[in-house]
Amino acid sequence: MTVAKVWKLLRQPVGRPTPENFICVEEQLPPCDDGDVITEAEYLSVDPYMRYKIRQIPLNSTMVGSQVARVTESKNPQWPVGSLMVHYQGWRTHTHLSSKFLQTKDNNVSPLPDMGNLPKSLGIGVIGMPGITAYFGFLEICQPKAGETVLVNGAAGAVGSIVVQIAKMKGCKVIAFAGSDEKVAWVKELGADYAFNYKTTNIGEALSQAAPENINCYFDNVGGQFSAEVLPHLADLCRVSVCGAISTYNDDSKDIGAVSLTSPFSEATLIWKQLRVEGFLCYRWNDRWTEGLKQLQHWVLEGKIKYKETVFHGFDKMPSAFIGLFDGENIGKAVVKL
């Protein structure tokens, strides 16, 4: 029998999560019957959206998330022992995937693309869900045109750093904000025309300097006060892609379904500037997922997309790696290596 270590939600966080919100337990997995597979995690993802998902899952549930996993036991010819997959069974070292589950549509189980000499961890990074989020969320919603001005916040993160580079490939002027001087330096290396540390810069003054002609595309990972300060600097007919709102994730008043009058997007400005503001989930483009992965991998291999990973070693680091996202500890994608 295989024994898995599993991180579960012990109690709901109040504000910023702490290690005391999580507990690690052991679970004995069911036997591997006909059509089943058992996997062992090699890399696990931590992402800001998990803070929001915590509000939706019951206590004592397995923490949500994706992982790159290797098949260690199989009675399924589609998944031989040793094959690699990406699945979303959460913060666990070992996983039992039943025949019934594997036959379910939209089970979010997929083969890891052939990475060649690239790190396998990219399957939960630039050549995975974060990459797809940047690729479709920017290109499909913002529809950038050469010569336009693009603003990206959270620009040193897993998604924002990719958007910066795609925008430059499309011939745009890019203004980027990140949370430390080290991150700003890296974003400049990625090609941003202007990069600012939002913690030490007046956002409005920086945008007046960098974009006197105003902003045509705004890719928003932060929300809240940052977006409120950006709003006056958006051009008429600006396209706003709302990917995330990490500045609000630890605010418990932002619960799902709660009535709130604190949106940074003023109705008057939306109307008079004729802005198009659209939120999205990357799974909207499930039918084009492979297309996106192939293009992203091609750009990585060509050197057109650069990446960084912040790697934490050991399954015991899952909570601290996750919590560190809200302290800005990561540059690029944060992953936990087992």
In the block, tokens 């929300």 appear at: 223
- What residues have CB less than 8 Å from 117, skipping those under 6 apart? none
Distances (CA, A) of 291 to 108, 187, 285: 16, 26, 10
Give residue limits of the domains in the chain: 3-125+307-337, 139-284
Q: Using alpha carbons, select from 3, 8, 125 the residue that is nearest to residue 64.
A: 8
Burial 255-292 (b: 16+ CB within 10 A, else e): eeeeeeeeebbeeeebeebebebeeeebeebeeebeeb
- Tell the CATH topology of 139-284: Rossmann fold (3.40.50)
In CATH, the architecture of 3-125+307-337 is: Alpha-Beta Complex (3.90)
pTM of the full structure: 0.94
The helix or strand, by DSSP H or E, that contains position 337, with its residue range, turns out to be strand 333-337
Residue by residue, pLDDT tens for the chain (338 residues) are: 899 999 999 999 999 999 999 999 999 999 999 999 999 999 999 999 999 899 999 999 999 999 999 999 999 999 999 999 999 999 999 999 999 999 998 899 999 999 999 999 999 999 999 999 999 999 999 999 999 999 999 999 999 999 999 999 999 999 999 999 999 999 999 999 999 999 999 999 999 999 999 999 999 999 999 999 999 999 999 999 999 999 888 887 655 555 455 678 888 899 999 999 999 999 999 999 999 999 999 999 999 999 999 999 999 999 999 999 999 999 999 999 99
